Amino acid sequence: MAIYDFIVKNNKGEDVPLSSYKGKTLLIVNTATKCGLTPQYDALEALYKKYKDRGFEILDFPCNQFLNQAPGSDEEIEQFCTLNHGTTFPRFLKIDVNGKNADPLYVWLKSQAPEGRGGEEEKSFEKKVKMFTLVNKKEDIKWNFEKFLINKEGDVSSRYSPAYKPEALEADIEGLL
């Protein structure tokens, strides 16, 4: 199985084959609107604006599994992100990223990159949030805003801790474009 074999649903419930992103560099992020990391939307949008014309896409998958920090309907999430953070990158239906109901795309992503990159600050963050989550396996998503960078061939290039700042991804993105 490859990333291009997956079909996901956009935030209007329409099927989107990930094969439509072939040849692009992707950043796949599980997000939340009521999280301490929600301001990362601003940095993500800045990256998107800077690199989208060079074949870069951000795919936003809201997830309510971490302390119910993505409440509301998919339409409400879209309105929040557009009005408060000016996001223009594609947003998809709210999904689960861990557990028995985890979206198949996330099951695959985690199998390709079982651990995220990050320094001491990121590891400290993960230790803090561990008490609030049911992270049972090493490969489980630790919190909102965990990031997967996908190269143009559809391979997972890197996985980043939720606290890893989007602006710190620039060199890695540049290297794949």
Question: Other C-beta atoms within 10 Å of 100: how many?
Answer: 5
Residue 63 designated active-site: no
How many angstroms separate the CA atoms of 85 and 88, rounded? 9
Distance of CA 3 to the CA centre of its chain: 14
Exactly one of 35, 77, 163, 169 is catalytic; name it: 35
| Contact present, 11 and 75 (Cβ < 8 Å) | yes
Residue 108: CB partners within 8 Å, gap ≥ 6? Answer: 1, 3, 6
| Contact present, 110 and 139 (Cβ < 8 Å) | yes
Q: Tell me how many degrees the CA angle 116-98-58 measures, rounded to the nearest 5.
A: 60
Q: Which residues are catalytic?
A: 35
